[in-house]
Structure 1
Amino acid sequence: FFRSLATTYGNQAVGVVLSGLDGDGAQGIREIKGNGGITFAQCEASAQYSSMPHMAAATGKVDFILPPAEIAAKLADISRHPYLERPNSDPPDLPSEGPQQENEAALSIIFSLLRT
């Protein structure tokens, strides 16, 4: 999956390796980074099974090593970066009622970016 993502989307690809067994994802992380994408791995301390994030981080190609909640926050920050704005689209409106609504809006943006 990561190889296809890297080949298809190049520098717009984002790879996230979370808790799991084995080294799945390490080669894909290399591919994404090699094509200019952004890469994440869950920090081992927060992973139930640290093998997959450890192997990804061991490639030296991971941009961010964070707990899942911080990965989500960083993805939301990246999604709002002006570099990613499309010229003919309006930025999504974020509700201002409070942190829960902002988190839900940020997740909605992340899911939309992942679908894209």
Structure 2
Amino acid sequence: MNATHTTTQVVRVPGRLVPLATLARLLERLDHSQEPVDADQYLAVVRRLQQLLQDTRADDALHAVLEAFPSAAQVYENLQYRHAGLCRSPLERSLRSELAARQVIERVSGGEPAAG
């Protein structure tokens, strides 16, 4: 078992998830960088992370990594969306987000508010 550090915690990671956790940490750093980030580098990190996430079975260890690295969790959720919707988001927050998005879309399109 290896340890990887987030800004506030240490996450114990099984050896099979070390590459994934390393990329998750790198993505988190890129997302919060105060310096401009090269778009090609960012895209390369995201694509490699996507591949690792697709090749990794979902279990408690993976979810611990995703909990520690929100940027990676968002990539994971985007990959799963077609099959599972907002699988890592609490239902109430997801519903509120959907309703807010609907209101914005209706407002900018000049349409009548939909019943919801």
* TM-score bin, normalised by smaller chain: under 0.3
**Which structure: larger Rg?**
2
TM-score, normalised relative to structure 2: 0.25
What is the TM-score with the length of structure 1 in the denominator?
Answer: 0.25
